[in-house]
Amino acid sequence: MAVAREMRAAVNERYGGPEVLRLADVPMPSAGKGQVLVKIAATSINLSDWEGLTGSPGYARLGGLRRPRRPILGSDIAGWVEAVGEGVTRFRPGDEVYGDNLQLKGGFAEYAVAPESVLALKPHGLTFAEASTLPQAGAISMLGTAKAGPRKRLLINGAGGGSGAFAIQLAKRLGAHVTGVDNGGKLDFMRSLGADEVIDYQRDDFTRGHPPYDLILDLVAHRSVFAYRRALARGGRYRCVGGTVRSMLRVLTIGAIAGKVTGRSIGVLVVKEGPAHFEPLAELCAAGEVDIHIDRTFGLDEVADAMARVGEGRALGKVVVTPG
Ligand SMILES: NC(=O)c1ccc[n+]([C@@H]2O[C@H](COP(=O)([O-])OP(=O)(O)OC[C@H]3O[C@@H](n4cnc5c(N)ncnc54)[C@H](OP(=O)(O)O)[C@@H]3O)[C@@H](O)[C@H]2O)c1
């Protein structure tokens, strides 16, 4: 009789704080049609993992209202191809890959299964830990700064986090004047990344008393659309990628109208998945033109501590989990 192979994983069977995570032996997944089994070398943590752990904001429960349908988190994975499923043509065992496995997750484990379409070959110039920091934050920062350019005043709300750290550097490369907003402990970090001005969100409100911005990239929306309209110059553009459900719904509805009638554009940035959206940033990083900041690396038995570091806002740069 065939014995199912097991692996170690950090499992969260209910929503809650880091204390709900426990290390367990679970059955090893296998690659289905169009899927790749990846032996994990590194998985970086995104705010979306914290949201998936706590089940908040509400959209984090789309994959299971009462309890997580996928009880192993971790979407930004990097590692070696262990096996490929039927129909996979781009990869073979032994390839070094990385990608954003947002739909299936499972990166806080020794092995994870991902659709072939979300993976790319890892650049030789990057370590697995470095590559794991790029997929989700890379796509958000590339899309979020696409309209930046010389003489544009860009404000990034939540700029000291994983996506923001890349967004500041990308916007500076494009010649924009960048203002970074985050908590007081991240002001020097944002300056070191190139931010021209920094604002501590616990002491100052960027929507009041500051000259208006041409572009606002909001990683953590929680204000009214009227505050965003006030902070925008005429012809300006506001896009949020995350935040409270209430704020995002208001941006989608009232914001779109309020923007239009006042000559501004207010909306939600839907982040597209797939290598095309993060590989350009990986190339810049491998060439040494954009820096990757890894705050700390944790073992698989320390995922709870790693998640707490991100969720409690102590990380300067990306936090990475390595199963080895
Ligand atoms: N639209 C999509 O398709 C899509 C896909 C994936 C992810 N996302 C979203 O993208 C967002 C960015 O994720 P990330 O991984 O870059 O997050 P992150 O690393 O946690 O960074 C967010 C930063 O915002 C700061 N912050 C918290 N509250 C703030 C406030 N009121 N004002 C200003 N800054 C504040 C945090 O600092 P503290 O330390 O003080 O908390 C942190 O430094 C998340 O909201 C995620 O849900 C969207």
pLDDT in tens, 29-45: 999 999 999 999 999 99
Lowest mean pLDDT among 21-25, 92-96, 255-259, 304-308: 255-259
Q: Are 234 and 264 in contact (CB under 8 A)?
A: yes
How far is residue 53's CA from residue 311's CA, in Å, rounded to a whole number? 10
Mean pLDDT of 299-324: 93
State how beta strands 35-44 and 76-84 pair: antiparallel
Q: Model confidence at 139, in pLDDT bands (50, 70, 90)?
A: very high
Cis, peptide link before residue 57, omega less than 30° from 0: yes
What is the average per-residue pLDDT within 280-298? 97
- On whether the CB atoms of residues 34 and 115 are closer than 8 A, the answer is yes
Centroid of ligand 1 to alpha carbon of 261 (angstroms): 29
pLDDT at 268 over 90: yes
Print the SS3 string covering 155-214.
EEECCCCHHHHHHHHHHHHCCCEEEEEECHHHHHHHHHCCCCEEEECCCCCCCCCCCCEE
* pLDDT of residue 199 exceeding 60: yes
Ligand 1 atom nearest the C-alpha of 102 is: 6
Cβ–Cβ < 8 Å for 202, 176: no
- Confidence (pLDDT) at 314: 85
Residues 25/286, Cβ–Cβ less than 8 Å: no
> For ligand 1, atom 42, which residue shows the shortest CA distance?
161
Q: How far apart are CA 93 and CA 97, in angstroms?
A: 10
Residue pLDDT, tens place only, 99-128? 999 999 999 999 999 999 999 999 999 999
Q: Residue 1 pLDDT more than 60?
A: no
pLDDT at residue 213 is higher than 90: yes
318, two tokens = 């990306």
Q: Does residue 101 have its Cβ closer than 6 Å to ligand 1?
A: no
Question: What average pLDDT does this structure show over 38-64?
Answer: 91
- Regarding the beta carbon of 242 and ligand 1, being less than 6 Å apart is answered yes
Apex 153 CA angle, 279 and 287, nearest 5: 25
Determine the residue type at 203: R
Query: Strand 318-322 to strand 35-44: parallel, antiparallel, or no bridges (unpaired)?
Result: antiparallel
User: CA-CA distances (angstroms) from residue 214 to 55, 81, 199, 226, 287?
Assistant: 34, 44, 17, 16, 30
Q: What is the pLDDT of residue 231?
A: 97
Kindly state if the Cβ of 160 falls inside 6 Å of ligand 1.
Answer: yes
Per-residue pLDDT, averaged over 121-146, amounts to: 97
Q: Which residues pair with 237 in a beta bridge?
A: 215, 265
pLDDT of residue 177: 98
Q: C-alpha distances in angstroms, 212 versus 30, 118, 228, 235, 263?
A: 52, 38, 10, 11, 14
Per-residue pLDDT tens over the stretch 73-96: 999 999 999 999 999 999 999 999
Kindly tell me if the per-residue pLDDT of 144 is higher than 70. yes
Asked if residue 286 lies in contact with residue 126, where contact means CB atoms within 8 angstroms, the answer is yes
User: Which residue's alpha carbon is at the smallest distance from atom 12 of ligand 1?
Assistant: 219
pLDDT of 152: 97
Which residue shows structure tokens 């982040």?
Answer: 271
Q: Is the CB of 157 under 6 A from ligand 1?
A: yes
Ligand 1 atom closest to the CA of 162, numbered from 1: 19
- Average pLDDT of the residues in 253-263: 88
Q: How high is the mean pLDDT of the chain?
A: 95
CA pair distance 183, 157, nearest whole angstrom: 10
Does ligand 1 lie within 6 Å of residue 44's CB atom?
no
Average pLDDT over residues 36-64: 91
Question: How far does the centroid of ligand 1 lie from the alpha carbon of residue 162, in Å?
Answer: 8
- Ligand 1: centre distance to CA 47 (Å): 6
Contacts for 11 with CB less than 8 Å, ≥ 6 apart: 21, 22, 23, 24, 26, 71, 72
Whole-number Å distance, alpha carbon 112 to ligand 1 midpoint, is 25
Q: What percent of the chain stands above pLDDT 70?
A: 99
Residue nearest to atom 43 of ligand 1 (CA): 161
Q: Give residue 258's pLDDT band: very low, low, confident or very high (50, 70, 90).
A: confident
Tokens (6 digits) for 312: 């409690």
> How many Cα atoms are found within 13 Å in the side-chain-facing hemisphere of 163?
27
22: alpha, beta or left? (left if phi > 0; alpha if psi -120 to 50): beta
Report whether pLDDT(240) > 90.
Answer: yes
| pLDDT bucket at 3, cuts 50 / 70 / 90 | low
Distance 86 CA to ligand 1 centre (A): 37
Ligand 1 atom nearest the C-alpha of 222 is: 31
Structure tokens belonging to residue 99? 């990608």
Give mean pLDDT, residues 187-212: 97
The confidence score (pLDDT) of residue 2 equals 60
Tell me, in angstroms, the distance from the centre of ligand 1 to residue 5's CA.
Answer: 37
Record the pTM. 0.94
Distance 221 CA to ligand 1 centre (A): 9
- C-alpha 83 – ligand 1 centre gap (Å): 34
Average of per-residue pLDDT across 210-223: 96
